[in-house]
Amino acid sequence: MAFEPILTRNVRKPGSETIDIYMEAGGYQGLRRALKEFTPEKLVEEVKASGLRGRGGAGFSTGMKWGFLPKTKDKPRYLCVNADESEPGTFKDRLLIEKDPHLVLEGIILSAYAIESSLAFFYIRGEFHQGCRTFEKAVQEAYAKGYLGRNILGSGFNLDIIIYRGAGAYICGEETALLESLEGKRGYPRIKPPFPAIVGLYGCPTIINNVETLANVTLIAERGAAWFASIGRPPKNTGPKLFCLSGHVKRPGVFEAPLGVPFLELLNEYAGGMKHPERPLKAAVPGGSSMKILPAAKCDVLMDFDSLAAAGTSLGSAGGFVMDTGTCIVRALHNVARFYAHESCGQCTPCREGTGWLVKILTRLERGDGRPEDVDLLAGIAGKIEGNTVCPFGEAIAWPVESYVRVFKDEFEEHARRKACPMRAAAAR
């Protein structure tokens, strides 16, 4: 572990959320330098050169996303911060918001400068009470020090921030649903195109970035694109990354490592290995609950966008979870499916109707009322959802169902054949 944590460099310091502690460690120097040395265009180039990819789940190049803004400036541009972290097993943004809000805030100011926006919205998950209070305080501190408001650090650049709390819907983390919610409407994802960079919040060009992505922008401004690009697995998977690991591990938590760290290293060294030594790894979902599952035998993967894609899953929001051999996969999938059925916004047909159907079948299977045809039916329903929905939520339910059923088909078939959950039966004996 030669890697020096940098995103999390402050989080263990007492009072890390205050501007004084943040500035003691060199905070806001990157902003000071960027406002003096960089034009907005140059800053966009710098972020492009760093190879930074969005940390929210899709892994799209941040600089390229910014480049999609229209060249004309007849409308205001907005920066929206996606702090609606709600994927089960993902809790990395929360750490930054609660423990180092100024790292995020500096990134917001830099990014707003880069895209020439003078109004940013911070859309924070409603349940993040403490994070919201902390961030509000950080914003006040930044105003007091002149990092927000009019003519920031004498540069002529103005920025205001509006903090908006969500009301507890997972779907509002989808960027266009977030925009709808921010506009005061029901959180329904929009049809794309047009993309938010062209028609976003209130019909104006809008960039939506994840909290961790923006924290990384601070680092790029502070230490330069070349430094950033040297971390991880260049050229396409660069920079430090926060990884969440939960489930049957000894020390669940958020761990910082360069992109491309081996999953087994995360599991065994960062998270302290399996929780119960007598129950080895059965399967893991490295990217988060909406990603595809990997059986133990395929868990020797590198944790970056492209390696995981090659392994048939995705990095997602890096909210990995680990299951040991005591886990019933059917029950695990039932749990995941219940979440997605509950959170489906109900806008489009396949997801609205399909998620509930999947749960009903899984409930039966787990209860001991399974039928042999259920196994193929689960995959069939997932297949009818995937790719046919308004937003990626369809994939978020279809991928786990498809992969759990494919990888652990025997277990599903056994549930149907035995008309019982074998794990439960074993536990009862």
Partner 1 sequence: MPELSPPPHQPNVPAPAPPDAAPLPQAGPDEVALVIDDRPVVAKKGTTLLQAAEEAGVLVPHYCYHPGLSIAGNCRMCLVEIEKMPKLQIACATAVAPGMVVRTANDRVRGVRAGIQEFLLINHPLDCPICDQAGECRLQSYESAYGQGYSRFQEDKVHSAKRYDIGRDVKFDAERCIKCTRCIRFCDEVSLSHELALFQRGDHAIIGTFPGRPLDNPYSGCTVDVCPVGALTWKPFRFKSRVWFLKNIPSVCAGCARGCNVDLATFRDRIHRLTPRANPEVNRFWMCDEGRQSYAALYDRPRFESPVERPAPGDSRGARDASAAGPDSPWDTALDRAAALLRGVVERHGAKALAAVVSARLTVEDLYVAKRVLGELLGVPRLAAPPHEAGEDDHLLLRRDKTPNARGAEALGIGAPSSGRVKEILEDAARGGVRGLVVVGEDLTGLPGFSEVLYDRLDALVVIDWWKSPTVDRAHVALPACGYGEFEGTMVNFQGRVQRLRAGLRPHGEADPVWRILRDLGRRFGLANEYATPRAVFEDAAAKVAALSGLSYRALGDLGAPLAAARERFAGAPAPGA
- Contacts with partner 1, residue ranges (CB under 8 A): 169, 186, 191, 341-350, 352-357, 360-361, 364, 371, 373, 377, 380, 384, 387-390
CB 94 within 8 A of CB 221: no
The least CB distance from residue 309 to partner 1, in Å, is: 15
Q: Which is nearer to partner 1, 298 or 364 (CB)?
A: 364
Q: Which is nearer to partner 1, 15 or 387 (CB)?
A: 387
Q: Which is nearer to partner 1, 34 or 179 (CB)?
A: 179
DSSP state of 266: I
Where would I find the H helices in 127-262? 129-144, 175-182, 211-223, 225-229
Q: Which is nearer to partner 1, 364 or 406 (CB)?
A: 364
CB 349 within 8 A of CB 362: no
Q: Which is nearer to partner 1, 252 or 354 (CB)?
A: 354
State the Cα–Cα distance between residues 351 and 233, nearest whole angstrom: 36
Q: Which is nearer to partner 1, 141 or 402 (CB)?
A: 402
The least CB distance from residue 372 to partner 1, in Å, is: 13
Q: Which is nearer to partner 1, 58 or 377 (CB)?
A: 377
CB 128 within 8 A of CB 97: yes
Tell me whether strands 78-83 and 206-210 are parallel, antiparallel or unpaired.
Answer: parallel
The least CB distance from residue 70 to partner 1, in Å, is: 18
Helix (H) or strand (E) holding 285: strand 281-285
Beta-bridge mates of residue 207: 79
Total Cβ atoms within 10 A of residue 61: 16
Q: Which is nearer to partner 1, 241 or 292 (CB)?
A: 292
Total Cβ atoms within 10 A of residue 196: 23
CA distances from 369 to 310, 353, 400, 417 (A): 37, 21, 22, 10
29-37 and 101-115 are packed helices; what angle lies between their axes, rounded to 10 degrees?
10
**Alpha-carbon Rg for the chain in angstroms:** 22
The least CB distance from residue 316 to partner 1, in Å, is: 19
Q: Which is nearer to partner 1, 270 or 393 (CB)?
A: 393
The least CB distance from residue 356 to partner 1, in Å, is: 4
Place of tokens 């180092």: 100
The least CB distance from residue 346 to partner 1, in Å, is: 3
State the Cα–Cα distance between residues 409 and 87, nearest whole angstrom: 25
Place of tokens 């609606």: 84
- Is the peptide bond between 400 and the residue preceding it cis, with omega within 30 degrees of 0? no
